Every structure is written in C-alpha cells, then in structure tokens.
C-alpha cells in the first residue's frame, strides 16, 4: 500500500517504520548520515537530540506515527489489536450547506466536518467503513443522532449502487466528534429497461448485509457518496389525534373559497393533483369549493410533529381537512386519515398539495435534488406547506364517532452529498 503524505513526512525524519522490532536509533543514524553533507551541524544536532528524547519515552515514535489524523483517534478507540486489521483511508472535508438544491434556503446553514477514516475487510466479502462526523453549527445539540447514509457506486456510473448506513456509534469525544461504523444493507441495479431493481432491506429479494460486490470496483478504486446525516429518526403509526370531529360544522359561504383554474399558476400539475374528471370540469366552470385557509390552525399534540390542522369543515356533504406543515421539513412526513366507527381505516378520496403566494394564487412548489446518484436524483421534492384531504361517503350523523389518526415520521435529514474515491 502506498504510504500517505503524513507517513512519508515521518519516514523522512525517522526512516521507514515497519514493525515494533525496527531499530529506531539505526534509522535515525542513517538519516543523519544521508543529510550530513547538506545539513548545518546545529540543525543536525537538534534533530538527533529531539530523536533521543523521543526514544526515552516508551513508544513515543510509534505514538507519533500512529496517532496522526482520524486513524490515530480510531486506533485509540478500538485498540491496537483491532487497528492492525484496519486499512487507513483518512480522507476528510469541511461541508458547508447553506442551501438545499433549487435555492431553497437551509435555516441552519449547516456545516459539518467529515472524514472517511478506515475500512475493514475486502471487496467481494463483508466490509466495514469507519467515519467521523462533527457538527460545526451546533444546531443539533438537543437532537438524537440516527445514521449517516452512504452509497458505494462504480466510477463509470453504470447503474449499480450499494446503499448503507453508519448507525453504530463507537465513540463520542468531549468536543462532539462522533466516530461511526457502517455497513451496506441493499443494492440497486438498473435493468435492461432502465428501471432500478433493489435487493435487500428495501425489498423482498435477499442481499447479504455488509457485502461489497466485486463489480463495484472501477479502476482499482471504490467511490463512496455520503448522502445524508439523519437525526431524531422515528416512525409513529396509527396515532390517534385528539380532535373531536363531532364539533365540525358545515362551512358557510364566507368560509369557502371557490377556486378556478385562474387561481393557479400556469404550470400547476393538474393532471396528477386533481385526478378526478369532475374536479377538472369544475375548475373550468363554477370552480372547486375549498375551505379558506387558517380557519382553525389547531396544533397536533404529538411529540416531534409540527403539523397543524389549518382548516376543517363540511362542504357538499364531504369532510374537508387542510393540514399545514412548516417548511422545510426535510424527511418529516405526516399522513392523516380517518377511522370509522367500525374500526376501518378511511383514506382521503382526493387530495391537493399547494402553496399560496401573497396575491392569493395557488402554486406548486418543488425542488429537484441534484445528486451523483441517479436513483436519488430523478424525482422532485415538495416544499408545499398545505395539503387538502377530502373524505367522501361518511355518515355525517355519526361524525363524532370517527377519529383522526396519523402516521408520522419524526426525524429529519441534512443532505451532505459528499463523494470521495479511494484505492482498494
């Protein structure tokens, strides 16, 4: 393995250090003899004195050699015996993330220090990857770290990606540096039709956790993209929302906004936002009735959930529920539905996601995530704070016996998009 620059610098001063049996003094003498013709006597004496001082301290030279950079810290954490089986990588960077893709401002203007420190194992078998991560903004002091997502992909981008997560925290320093160990958990391969087929934790087909396939190597190297760091990750399902539907009233005319096509921006995606032919016809004629936003703004009292019920009411014997969620919500997700007196789950029959500009015009706010990984960069992400849910076929005489329930993803992600390549 080719020595890194730090190893080369040490070797220039102390000679090549290979094993604990190496004669350090002889190495120093050799270097001194080689430099005697071009080094001033005082400088040479200083080097020799410094070297002898190091020799008097047990293991000091080796400590200097082994404790440089992230691998030195990792060696102290895992111990000498384990460290001997690790392959140092030591590639680091400072990541400034003031904006999300598309110019959507990140409120924290996140800054992280990241390092891919080492690996363990060989391609074609089980491999571990060791990272360090430090939050330089201090915006997550009360957040619970969940995982560091990464993808291994070939340098020629042929559509093979091995996904993984570093979830195991093996150390947190006093200064807040987190040392992590991660493994792969799934693989996605583009088939002959250009569609990604996923094997592993995201689908039924088996993928052996931790495996790095042979065909992932390109030009003798692995390319890793660290996709995101995730905090407060949790998923709450079938959580009852404490709102009494028996209090919901039929909305009066001044509480209803008739929305026509003129109320939407010219590029609004009606073809999928209004799936029914009836809605499309109404937009062209009398308009679609919607509750005016902000009638209620009732906060859902669920830990780590920021969603509000902005408006709620009955229009034309249908229950309209408008939920509002502050943006950006990163990976947070809220899905609301009803549970009937019979216990059956009722999904909304129609829905609409939208934003409202100052003039009152509805528009669809999206941004695309640029990424080095085509499987993640092919879709658009919503930044619309409002969603209308329309429930039909309810027994309005028994509406108080229905309950609102929700599925909530409570965490959030900061997209790092840090790509690095190292030889294997």
User: How many domains is the chain built from?
Assistant: 3
pLDDT surpassing 80 at residue 37: no
Residue with tokens 């000091």: 60
The pLDDT tens digits of the residues spanning 326-372 come to 765 555 678 899 999 999 999 999 999 898 888 888 988 776 666 77
Q: What percent of the chain has pLDDT over 90?
A: 46
Residues 245-276 have pLDDT tens digits of 999 999 999 999 999 999 999 888 888 788 78
Kindly report the number of other CB atoms within 10 A of residue 254's CB atom: 7
Q: How far apart are CA 198 and CA 161, in angstroms?
A: 9
**Domain assignment of residue 416, yes or no:** no
Question: Within this chain, do residues 292 and 331 fall inside the same structural domain, yes or no?
Answer: yes
Whole-angstrom Cα distance, residue 335 to residue 193?
32
Chain segment 276-289, per-residue pLDDT in tens: 888 889 999 999 99
How much is the pLDDT for 332? 65
- Residue 336 included in any domain: yes
179 located within any domain? yes
Cβ–Cβ under 8 Å, residues 348 and 391: yes
Tell me which residue range forms the domain holding 55: 5-13+20-66
Contacts of residue 176, Cβ cutoff 8 Å, sequence gap at least 6: 134, 135
Q: What pLDDT score does 381 carry?
A: 66
> Which residues are CB-neighbours of 89 under 8 A, at least 6 positions away?
71, 116, 117, 118, 119, 422
Residues 167 and 88 in one domain: yes
Span 227-243, average pLDDT: 88
Do 386 and 263 lie in one domain? The reply is yes
Q: Are 187 and 256 in contact (CB under 8 A)?
A: no
Q: How far is the C-alpha of 90 from the C-alpha of 4, rounded, in Å?
A: 9
What are phi and psi for residue 238, nearest 5 degrees?
Answer: 55, 45
Distance CA 91, CA 276 (A): 53
pLDDT at 329: 53
SS3 227: strand
Is the model's pLDDT at 231 over the cut of 70? yes
389: β partners: 321, 351
pLDDT in tens, 140-179: 877 889 999 999 987 766 778 999 999 999 999 988 899 9
Q: Distance between CA atoms of 334 and 404, rounded to whole angstroms?
A: 12
Residue 417 lies in a domain: no
DSSP classification of residue 214: G
- Domain boundary residue, one of 211, 231, 251: 231
Which residue, of 214, 231, 248, is where some domain finishes?
231
Sort 199 into a burial class: Cβ within 10 Å, 0-12 / 13-18 / 19+: middle
Q: Is the pLDDT of residue 30 over 50?
A: no
Residue-wise pLDDT for 76-110, tens only, equals: 999 999 999 999 999 999 998 876 655 556 666 78
Of 231, 253, 272, which residue sits at a domain end? 231
pLDDT attached to residue 1: 45
Residue with tokens 């959580």: 239
Query: Helix (H, G, I), strand (E, B), or coil: what is residue 234?
Result: coil
Residue 41: what pLDDT?
36
Residues 61 and 79 in one domain: no
């Amino acid at each position: 393995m080719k020595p890194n620059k730090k190893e080369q610098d040490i070797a220039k001063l102390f000679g090549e250090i290979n094993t604990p049996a190496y004669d350090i003094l002889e190495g120093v003498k050799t270097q001194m003899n080689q430099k005697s013709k071009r080094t001033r006597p005082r400088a040479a004496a200083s080097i020799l004195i410094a070297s002898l001082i190091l020799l008097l301290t047990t293991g000091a030279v080796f400590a200097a050699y082994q404790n440089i950079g992230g691998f030195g810290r990792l060696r102290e954490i895992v111990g000498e015996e384990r460290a001997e089986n690790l392959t140092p990588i030591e590639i680091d960077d400072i990541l400034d993330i003031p904006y999300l893709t598309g110019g959507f401002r990140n409120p924290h203007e996140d800054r992280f220090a990241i390092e891919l420190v080492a690996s363990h194992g060989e391609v074609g078998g089980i491999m571990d990857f060791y990272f360090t991560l430090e939050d330089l903004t201090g915006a997550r002091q009360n957040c619970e770290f969940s995982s560091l997502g990464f993808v291994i992909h070939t340098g020629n981008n042929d559509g093979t990606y091995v996904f993984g997560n570093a979830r195991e925290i093996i150390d947190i320093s006093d200064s807040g540096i987190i040392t992590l160990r991660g493994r792969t958990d799934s693989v996605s391969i583009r088939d002959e039709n250009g569609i990604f087929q996923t094997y592993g934790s995201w689908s039924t087909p088996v993928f052996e956790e931790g495996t790095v396939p042979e065909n992932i190597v390109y030009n003798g190297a692995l390319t890793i993209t660290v996709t995101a760091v995730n905090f407060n990750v949790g998923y709450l399902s079938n959580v009852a929302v404490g709102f009494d539907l028996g209090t919901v009233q039929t909305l009066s005319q001044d509480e209803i906004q008739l929305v026509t096509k003129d109320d939407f921006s010219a590029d609004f995606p009606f073809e999928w936002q209004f799936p029914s032919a009836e809605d499309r016809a109404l937009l062209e004629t009398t308009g679609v009735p919607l509750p005016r936003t902000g009638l209620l703004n009732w906060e859902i009292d669920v830990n780590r959930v920021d969603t509000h019920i902005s408006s709620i009411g009955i229009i034309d014997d249908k229950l309209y529920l408008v939920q509002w969620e502050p943006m950006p919500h990163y990976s947070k997700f809220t899905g609301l539905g009803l549970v009937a007196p019979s216990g059956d789950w009722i999904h909304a029959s129609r829905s609409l996601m939208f934003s409202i500009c100052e003039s009152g015009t509805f528009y669809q706010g999206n941004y695309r995530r640029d990424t080095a990984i085509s499987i993640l960069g092919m879709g658009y992400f919503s930044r619309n704070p409002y969603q209308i849910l329309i429930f039909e076929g309810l027994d309005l005489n028994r509406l108080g016996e229905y309950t609102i329930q929700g599925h909530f993803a409570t965490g959030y992600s900061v997209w790092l998009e840090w790509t690095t390549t190292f030889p294997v």
